[in-house]
Amino acid sequence: MATKNVLFVLTSHNKFLSGKPTGWYLPEAAHPYYVFRDAGYTVTFASPAGGKAPLDQSSVEMFKEDKQCQEFLNSQETQDLVNNTHKLSDMDVSKFDTVYYVGGHDLTTDQTSIQLIQKFWAADKPVSAVCHGPTVFLEVMDTKTGEPLVKGKKVTCFSNEEEKQAGLVDEIPFLVETQLKAKGATFENKREPWGEEVVVDGKLVTGGNPASAAGVAKALLKMI
């Protein structure tokens, strides 16, 4: 039975390998948040560490003309949500219809996250991520088959080409596209760099980049 509750997972990771600051990317949270809110859903925010989740300040500057991003940034309600995130370990899958991972770099080997995704999957609830977010699926196993969750499934993420154009290749520990392919996923990349692309394969929903975040939320709405 639908709960009308959605779980958003933010990163607690605030630095690239070089020490350059990073964090969750503004439109990847803001755009889907309003899709769900306007459809009557309650959005709960969680992160590995709980508390204030670090915001990538470069996304604030880049999306300063984006109405929804500015509304999200300047609303007391939404700021309270992202500055007081729940601890991921406290989240109960039965309370939510779906989980959405808002980019981030620190959740690949996080056992709490891996187990949470496996529980959503076992409960036949959609799991989703955008941009660098699909890294969260790399170590997740399908408990029914014993195979990697993404093996044989169509997925997308921030592409290697987009990483190059963004100058991030040397800032991150691995390229998400390369690793998804290594796990047996079928990588979809039909877009021009930075264009919208959402890939749905069963209960697995992935988006390529910031432009794809709202589309991921809309795809999830059709499923829940």
The answer to whether 69 is a known catalytic residue is no
Candidates 31, 69, 131, 157; catalytic one: 131
Candidates 139, 163, 177, 197; catalytic one: 163
Cα 210–Cα 68–Cα 81 angle in degrees, nearest 5? 90
Single out the residue of 109, 119, 166, 132 nearest to residue 7, CA to CA: 119
The answer to whether 131 is a known catalytic residue is yes
- Long-range CB contacts (within 8 A, 24+) of 117-123: 117/149, 118/142, 118/143, 118/149, 119/93, 120/93, 120/96, 121/149, 121/203, 123/93, 123/94
The answer to whether 132 is a known catalytic residue is yes
Whole-angstrom distance, CA of residue 5 vs CA of residue 199: 22
Candidates 28, 132, 139, 157; catalytic one: 132
Whole-angstrom distance, CA of residue 219 vs CA of residue 154: 15
Whole-angstrom distance, CA of residue 46 vs CA of residue 104: 13
- The residues that are catalytic are 131-132, 163
